[in-house]
Amino acid sequence: MAQKQVVICYFQGNGSSCPPRLPLLSHVLKLLGSSNGLQYTMIALSYRGYWNSAGKASQKGIELDAQAMLGWVTENYPHAMLILWGQSIGAGIASTAAARHIERRIIPPVAGLIMETPFMSIETMLLALYPQKWLPYRYLSPFLRSHWDSGVALRRIAEVGKQPPRLLLLPATRDEVVPPEEIQALEQLCKDLHFSYDRKNVLGALHTEATSRREGQQAVAEFVRELAAP
């Protein structure tokens, strides 16, 4: 009997590239192993302008890169269980890619969405980082180069009306970049949209440490294992 394929697509954060993240991705795969007729495959996207990828990074270009990766997955793994995993701004890229994939009813559907150290949107982050009304930064959102918005993406998914993906929210409790109000707002939105979700706080972790730590890796592996269980 052929093994059931589980494909995990990883979307990195803004301040890194694939090589530094490969050890943690490998550790998650090792925790998952290969049992119960399941075979796990991890695919990490290197956006244009990052690492060895040519071009210049932009929201439009990165979204095209995400679509190209998912197109390759659907062509090569048409019967797989598909899980998207994004870290920091990568969570916004992953949720936006998931919304487009689900709206177009592409096979295989997105079964799971892992949002590691996520925030609601770039605009809400701007307001969180510069709450003072007398500073000009909070008014500059129309001029931002990127406008990824996980809240909008999750609402788009809900509007499709089909079975939405199960979510894992994975915040770091000592996150020095994303304030706790962001994960609280995302969790409340999941409740409002009646999404099935899990939340696992990685205690003591900074923004880039959530899955560098064993607890975060185990949380991801357990989520994937439970999702893929027969």
Is pLDDT of 145 > 70? Answer: no
pLDDT on residue 134: 43
| CATH code: domain of residue 157 | 3.40.50.1820
> DSSP state, 214?
H
- The span from the CA of 31 to the CA of 154, in Å, is 29
The rounded mean pLDDT for the chain is: 86
pLDDT on residue 138: 53
pLDDT on residue 45: 87
Give every CB contact of residue 155 below 8 A, 6+ residues apart in sequence.
189, 193
Neighbours of 12 (CB within 10 A): 24
Neighbours of 216 (CB within 10 A): 24
Is pLDDT of 187 > 60? Answer: yes
Query: Are residues 187 and 197 in contact, defined by beta-carbon separation less than 8 angstroms?
Result: yes
- The span from the CA of 223 to the CA of 122, in Å, is 27
Neighbours of 36 (CB within 10 A): 11
* Predicted TM-score (pTM) of this structure: 0.90
Share of the chain above pLDDT 70, in %: 83
Is pLDDT of 220 > 90? Answer: yes
Is pLDDT of 124 > 80? Answer: no
Q: Encoding tokens for residue 190? A: 């999941």
Q: Which domain holds residue 184?
A: 4-228
pLDDT tens readout for residues 23-81: 899 999 999 986 677 899 999 988 877 667 767 767 788 889 999 999 999 999 999 99
Which of 225, 205, 228, 229 has the alpha carbon at shortest distance from 216? 205
**Domain count of the chain?**
1
pLDDT on residue 105: 92
